[in-house]
Amino acid sequence: MANESFDIPIAPGNIFSADPQKPVEGGHSRFVPNVPVGDGERQICLPCIWKSHKITKGRDAEAVNECLLLISRDPITTLRAEVSVDSWQHFGRVLVEW
């Protein structure tokens, strides 16, 4: 995963649109994967607010999805990351409201 954070300007329509397979519940919330970042005592989990459907090769030549992890909602601050395709099934889910 990337170790740098970026302030990425996003348009809410691009990220927060309804997913036909997982509709937005109540209009302002959604359960999303909670992705672990870091290791050992410094590990935290961040909600994934966007995941690419395109599978690419990561730094370790494994199949990965690019994604955006939410660090802060006000202002919206995200972390760009690469997550192994095989890892998604092991993550818990967390409710994100906006």
Identify the pLDDT of residue 14.
43
Task: Give domain status of residue 62, yes or no.
Answer: yes
For residue 10, give every residue at least 6 positions away whose Cβ sits within 8 Å of its Cβ, in sequence order, or none.
Answer: 68, 76, 78
Task: Give domain status of residue 19, yes or no.
Answer: no
pTM of the entire predicted model: 0.67
For the segment 13-29, what is each residue's pLDDT rounded down to a tens digit?
444 444 555 554 455 77
For the segment 30-81, what is each residue's pLDDT rounded down to a tens digit?
889 999 988 878 888 999 999 999 998 887 778 999 999 999 888 888 999 9
Task: Give domain status of residue 49, yes or no.
Answer: yes
Confidence of residue 83 (pLDDT cuts 50, 70, 90): very high
Task: Give domain status of residue 3, yes or no.
Answer: no
- Total Cβ atoms within 10 A of residue 78: 21
Task: Give domain status of residue 52, yes or no.
Answer: yes
What is the domain range of residue 78?
A: 29-97
Question: How many domains does the chain divide into?
Answer: 1
Task: Give domain status of residue 59, yes or no.
Answer: yes
- DSSP for residue 6: B
β strands within the chain, DSSP E: 29-37, 44-57, 63-73, 76-84, 92-97
More confident residue, 5 or 29: 29
Reading phi first (left if > 0) and then psi (alpha if -120 to 50, else beta), residue 26 is in left
- Using CA atoms of 15, 20, 25, 31 in order, give the dihedral in degrees to the nearest 10: -60
Task: Give domain status of residue 6, yes or no.
Answer: no
